[in-house]
Chains A and B, each alone.
Chain A
Amino acid sequence: MIEARGLSKRYGTKLAVNNLSFDIRPGTVTGFLGPNGAGKTTTMRLILGLDTPDTGTVTIDGQRYADMAYPMRSVGALLDAKAVHGGRSAYNHLLCLAQTNGIGRKRVDEVIGLVGLADVAKKRSKGFSLGMGQRLGIAATLLGDPAVLMYDEPVNGLDPEGILWIRNLMKALAAEGRTVFVSSHLMSEMEHTADYLIVIGRGQLLADCSMQEFIERSSGQSVRVRTPQAEDLGRALTTAGGRVTPDGYEVLSVQNMTAEQIGDIAFESRIRLHELAVVRASLETAFMELTGDSVEYHAAVPAAMVGGA
């Protein structure tokens, strides 16, 4: 359980994190979302004490991170997989980290096997691919078999196989009752991994709820109806209060109405339906809607492109 209370951090004139409070609970994967520059990494650095907050406190299982008896045995954190000395072998890198917390060589061998780096353990990490580097970083977080795990953008730059591996690992870690806190700006990836969400923008908390709640809250939810009598149905639904937009041949997209309501109206109007499906808004849609105003660096679409070039 990670508890943040009123965290703020300013770098020069930029308020990176502004009065953030949240709880990260065990047993689920909590996604940490926000546009670039929203303060995700800063928040994680504050949790780990790499940076000192200007105001506020953050504790892990009731303790400040720096006060923990064996930090690695309580928390495994990977903020930047490239933050290693490339001249050191994977094995020695993990060994020097393990030794700080009284973790032995046997465990180092074990985690090297777990992440599948056994063949390159004696090689200097400078020559590692992005995926291998990420596995090395994850191996370090597992050394102490901790109850709390934190990952900052763990799937950045990974191939599909690497992404799948990390996704499954995180779910498995959470299923064992651990606290898993993972940041990302890849919405489709988060949608597959996280059960719970903390969303921030410009350093402030925008949402703190379950994935399902977050998506349902968005206005993007709609029902897709396919019918040979699209015009008739459209009229009937509009009369009943639905917002109907044509969505291709014989297909309507209906908002403001449930699938049940639409089915009943069609039945009463003796209209044949060939398809009736709830289309959940994607996390991406919901996220865009929520963070639209808090994006740090807006990229304008060049006018020429809008004009159709």
Chain B
Amino acid sequence: MAAVTASGPAAVRGRAGLGGVIRSELTKLKSVRSTWWTLLVLVLLSIGFSALICAVIKANWHTMSASDKATFDATSTSLGGIGFLGPLVIAVLGALVITSEYSTGMIRTSLTVMPRRSVMFAAKGVVFGLVTLVLALVLSFLSFFIGQALLGDHSATLSHQGTMRAIVGTAIYVTLCGLLAYGIGVILRHTAGTITLVVGILFVLPIIINLFPSSWHNAIVRWLPTSAGDAISTTVGTNDHMFSAWGEMAVLGVYVVIVLIAGATLFRTRDA
């Protein structure tokens, strides 16, 4: 064939699969401005917030109580930006990866050229997850080093107990929060709804639980998705009401897996 359509594409063998769709999803992610804006906000917020907190603490160290000084966690403090604000920003991107396809109608075009929906679902998740993980790792380390530089005498080093775990773990936490948003986005197919729900889970739910009587709070807190972020970044002291750092990460991991399985199932079976 060809003629009307010029020379035609180069020949191939095999079957269109994950590799091509991953390249496609990477192109999609790179080629819209919202991605770059979101990532810029992520960089500014996480680095800026960490630097601000660390600088403030350094300046006010002499006013802190002895017990505050004793339990001061230099690592976790420097990771506050990426660990606390990072999930919010990444959740927006995770939602947009899928919900922008529904709001623009692009999803129908995407599924027309790649009707194997599990492949599309997986490729989107893999591309978004890996991009997020790499960026979050870079930002975690940057936040740590900038924060420690600003803390001066009160800083931690990479060789301190739990520091590497906190830095790498925070990046994983941010990635899991992003994948949670992606999964919810697939289920709801609506940008505003998805972001609202994710903000509810990551930011409002912990506040509500805090208002509960302490016996309730202590029983529930280990099951919160956000406890993974708290536990993984803490290097000084332990929280008796939580599982271990990786235990909390596993709790969040299970939530993410459940949401992704539900999302994949709906994505495969629903009319587009």
Binding site for B on A (CB under 8 A): 45, 48-52, 65-66, 68-73, 77, 79-80, 82-89, 92-93, 95-104, 106-107, 110-111, 113-114, 140, 142-145, 147, 169, 172-173, 176-178
B contact residues around A65 at 8 Å (CB): 115
Query: Are A102 and B16 interface neighbours, CB within 8 A?
Result: yes
How distant is the Cα of A211 from the Cα of B108 in the complex, in angstroms? 31
**Is there contact, CB below 8 Å, between A69 and B16?**
yes
Question: Which of chain A's residues have a CB closer than 8 A to the CB of B105?
Answer: 80, 82-84
Say yes or no: B21 contacts A83, CB within 8 Å: no
| Interchain CB contact under 8 A, B1 and A96 | no
Let me know if B114 and A101 touch, CB within 8 A. yes
Distance in angstroms between the alpha carbons of A69 and B13 in the assembled complex:
9
Total residues of chain B contacting the partner, CB 8 A? 44
Residues of chain B within 8 A of A173, CB atoms compared:
4-5
6 tightest A-B contacts by CB?
Answer: A83-B105, A92-B31, A145-B8, A99-B24, A66-B115, A107-B9
Q: In the bound complex, do residue B100 and residue A85 qualify as a contact, i.e. CB atoms below 8 Å apart?
A: yes
Give the residue of A79, A86, A110, A172 whose beta carbon is less than 8 angstroms from that of B104: A86
Q: Is B211 an interface residue (CB 8 A)?
A: no
Contact for A85 among B4, B20, B21, B32, CB less than 8 A:
B32
Report A-chain residues with C-beta under 8 Å of the C-beta of B66: none
Partner among A49, A50, A77, A104 whose Cβ is within 8 Å of the Cβ of B10: A104
Report which of B1, B9, B28 forms a contact with A104, defined as CB distance below 8 A: B9
Asked if B108 and A143 make an inter-chain contact with CB atoms under 8 angstroms apart, the answer reads: no
| B67 at the binding interface (Cβ < 8 Å) | no
Closest chain-B Cβ to A98's Cβ sits at a distance in Å of 8
Contact with A along B186-230 (1 / 0, CB 8 A): 000000000000000000000000000000000000000000000
The docked-state distance in angstroms from the alpha carbon of A111 to that of B7 is: 10
Query: Cβ of B100: which chain A residues have Cβ within 8 Å of it?
Result: 85
